[in-house]
Amino acid sequence: MKSLSIQQLSDGLYKGITRFPLAILSAIQFTFLVIYGIEADIDPGIWYLRGVHGAQLGIPLFIALTFFAESKNYNPIKKIGVKFGGVALLLLYLLTLPETLTFINFSRFVLLTLFAHLLVFIAPSLHKGYELHFWVLAKEIILTFIECVFYAFVIGFGIFVAISAVHFLFDININNKRYPEVMSFCLIFLTTIFFAGRMQGVNSKQNMVFDYPEILKNFTQFILIPLVLLYLIILYIYGGQILMNQDWPKGWVSYLSIGFSVLGIVSIILIYPVRNDENNKWIPLFNKGFLYTLFPIIFLFCAAIWRRISEYGITENRYYLIALGVWLFFISVYTLIKRDHFIKMIPMSLSVVCILSAFGPLSAFNVSKNSQLERLNDYATSNNWLDEDGYWDTSNEKKTPKEDVDQSRSIIKYLIKNHGYASIQPYLKDSIPDTLQGVDNKYAQSRTILQEMKLIQTSDYVKENRLNFYTTHQGVDIKGYSKYFTKEAQYLKRNGDKAISISKADPVINLFIENGATKLGTLIIGDQTYNIPFPDENEMLYKKKDFMMVYKSVNGIKNEEQNTTTLTAVTFTLFIK
């Protein structure tokens, strides 16, 4: 990379702003919303999340659209049309997001983020150019991004240390929120504007003469490839052991197979430009040998995944592993057929996988939901849990067989958590929204629906009583309180969570959950400590001189023999004077 003068830097920043205006506006919006969220300590609503997600997607999307327009040599009018077409698509997607976001929406966020970043590499290379052109451009994008992140991080870290110095040397009280706010500004806004100013223009006819970094060859030859060979030896020995013992492979082998495959493909990509050099005759041998050895690994990988699917069906995580296995197989075959013309296909095919996984009938969410519903239907049919009309028989408790009851409970909890209670509605005559009126917590929704379906706890839990308290608390007098914090904590028993962080500053507030007959836990506000009693169903409010705790929902397990109450989920609002 060429060195920069102050004049070149200022000229580059000016050209970057005029070249990537929408990407920089997205960075400004993203930075502002992140800092606002830190400063206000808010519970993110749908419009806040739409703004954050839209800005976060907008940065790579508008950079990609700029690259695409430049590679096509569009005139200014067409360039503007392409960019605002991207704005329209982004707004359409954001406005279709539901008021209450689910697991599916957040999973799509991740898939679309990966897709948008892949577009940065794909967009400028859609013309019928050389594969080497794509490699050079991708290298420039990655190295420029790493350089800009490094600059932004150093600036942020420097300001971080400066703020700390002012705080400790001059005894000036500085809010702890300043630190993440400064780092957010640097890593989001400065990285984007540095990249915009530093990234060279895209030209499909640019000169392909370049200096191949020797460090890439050394890194690949002496680090990546030995690691690939190490993984290969381990996986083949394990595969031989499986054949000898005639046993199914362990699920963990899937992740090792992924590591082996990814390292091998990255190695092939990094040494692609020098594969035909006279002094590098080992490279074509390695490429072909790796691809052929990859097929048995993919088979081992698929066998491990199939074992889990045959026992527990498809979930989103297993779907992604399946999709990755199919993609690896496709890339391996394509590379063997095309030989020197496969580089572009890697991000293109991966972007297609992202879109198919996020939307449509073949998406991770539809396939997983249908798989689990099919399992639930199998259990219901084999145990005669459905009446003549196909609805769930709620007249008798499903006490046996224990394994089928437990599996059905697990499926229903999964469906409600990931796909909402509407996925269970076809099995029940009564309207689930009516049954769940006033029950907002998903854990409590699962409990209520399971009770409705008579899928009771198995015998291990007979001596435990479930506590589910809910209230709307209309007309609570909040006059005189200056601050309030709303918190929702779930799965406290399962995850072993004990501390609920309510506020990290001004003052620091934490609630420490404790198991007992009457005590919910200990509330610490600054240097003051308060014992909080377990709420009563008829009294979902606890008031002291300096604060008031108003419960919306409380879920717990009461053990009659041990006289203890274990909190599993709680939603409350804490008002501070």
**Percentage of the residues of the chain whose pLDDT score is greater than 70:** 87
Residue 350 has pLDDT above 80, yes or no: yes
Q: What angle do CA 15, 154, 174 make, to 5 degrees?
A: 110
**504 pLDDT above the threshold of 90:** no
In tens, the pLDDT along 509-555 reads 888 887 666 677 888 888 888 888 888 777 788 888 889 888 888 88
Q: Is the pLDDT of residue 473 over 70?
A: no
In one-letter notation, the amino acid at residue 358 is: A
Domain annotation covers residue 1 = no
Are 390 and 304 within one domain? no
Please report the pLDDT score of residue 461 as a whole number: 43
* Domain assignment present for 287: yes
- CB hemisphere CA count around 494 (13 angstroms): 6
Is the Cβ–Cβ distance between 398 and 455 less than 8 Å?
yes
Rounded Cα–Cα distance for residues 85 and 91 (Å): 10
Q: How many domains does the chain have?
A: 4
For residue 88, pLDDT over 90 is answered with yes
Which residues touch 422 (CB under 8 Å, ≥6 apart)? 432
Confidence of residue 459 (pLDDT cuts 50, 70, 90): very low
Which of the four pLDDT bands, split at 50, 70 and 90, describes residue 91?
very high
Same domain, 267 and 311: yes
Place of tokens 């849990």: 385
Mean pLDDT of the region 475-503? 76
> Among 45-49, 176-180, 214-218, which stretch is predicted with the lowest mean pLDDT?
214-218
Residue 429 lies in a domain: yes
Largest CA distance in the chain: 84
Q: What is the DSSP string of 328-354?
A: HHHHHHHHHHHTTS-TTHHHHHHHHHH
Confidence of residue 251 (pLDDT cuts 50, 70, 90): low
CB 532 within 8 A of CB 523: yes
Query: 140: closest CA among 218, 74, 208?
Result: 208
Q: How far apart are CA 239 and CA 295, in angstroms?
A: 12
Quick one: 442 and 567 in the same domain?
Answer: no
Residue 388 inside a domain? The answer is yes
- Which of 441, 462, 483 marks a domain boundary? 462
Both 39 and 166 in one domain: the answer is: yes
Q: To which residue do tokens 């009280």 refer?
A: 173
Same domain, 46 and 192: yes
323 lies in the same domain as 355: yes
Whether 352 and 378 map to the same domain: the answer is no
Report yes or no on 205 lying in a domain.
no
Q: 473 lies in a domain? A: yes
Residues 261-275 as b/e (b if ≥16 CB within 10 A, e otherwise) read: bebbbebbbbbbbeb
Boundary of a domain, candidates 440, 462, 484: 462
Q: Does one domain contain both 185 and 223?
A: no
Return the number of other C-beta atoms located less than 10 Å from residue 344's C-beta: 20
Q: Compute the distance between CA of residue 565 and CA of residue 521 in angstroms, rounded to an integer.
A: 11
User: 227 is in which domain, residue-wise?
Assistant: 214-359
Q: Are 237 and 328 members of one domain?
A: yes
Residue 188 pLDDT grade (very low, low, confident, very high; cuts 50, 70, 90): very high
Residue at a domain's end among 431, 462, 493:
462
- Same-domain pairing of 137 and 76: yes
Residue 543 lies in a domain: yes
In order, the DSSP letters of 493-533 are: HHHT--EEEEESSSS-EEEEE--BSSEEEEEEETTEEEEEE
The average pLDDT across 88-96 equals 93
Do 149 and 238 belong to one domain?
A: no
Q: Are residues 183 and 229 in the same domain?
A: no
Q: What is the pLDDT of residue 184?
A: 94
* pLDDT tens per residue across span 115-131: 999 999 998 877 666 77
